Amino acid sequence: MKKLVAEEVRQKIQEGIDYTERAIEVREAVAEIVSKYEGKKISKRIGTALAGILPSYTVVYRHQYNLCQLLVWGNGIEWKDRISILLGYDSEGGYVNSEKIVGNYNRNVFLERERLGKFREALERIGSWVTQSHKIAKEIEALKKDVSAYNLQHIILKEV
């Protein structure tokens, strides 16, 4: 069992906070832009407009098969963690329905703000969690030692 290091855990949580804050920034910008294109044909110009208000991000419009979307990364958001913004489907007419898009993103922003609160609360509890995990690790090691004397680790420690 790997020993937890408080600073490493704090850093990972801070990375989660940073990503979530950026995701909120992107989603709020999307809501602002798509409302200006209500009822208009979905096209690359929406991506160009978004890139204009998010200059530190890479914004790519992609129309693939029936799907129209924007991909956003950069400014601390890695390509593998990019934000995919569904604009619509050709089968739905191919026109911007900002109410639908903004409604979806408002729900996401609500959940992301909730996640931010949990991350921030977690930062305050790291010290006690790390201490507790170290105690548990010691107890598990003691249990392994005790059980191995009876050669029952395959039964007793199966789930540990």
**Residue 156 CA from chain centroid, whole number:** 37
Does the predicted model carry a pTM greater than 0.85?
Answer: no
The answer to whether residue 4 scores a pLDDT higher than 80 is no
CB atoms within 10 A of CB 101: 22
- Give the integer Cα–Cα distance in Å for 57 and 129: 35
Per-residue pLDDT averaged across 31-51, rounded?
89
Q: What three-state secondary structure class fits 94?
A: coil
**pLDDT tens for each residue of 78-130:** 888 888 888 887 667 777 888 888 887 788 889 999 999 999 999 999 989 99
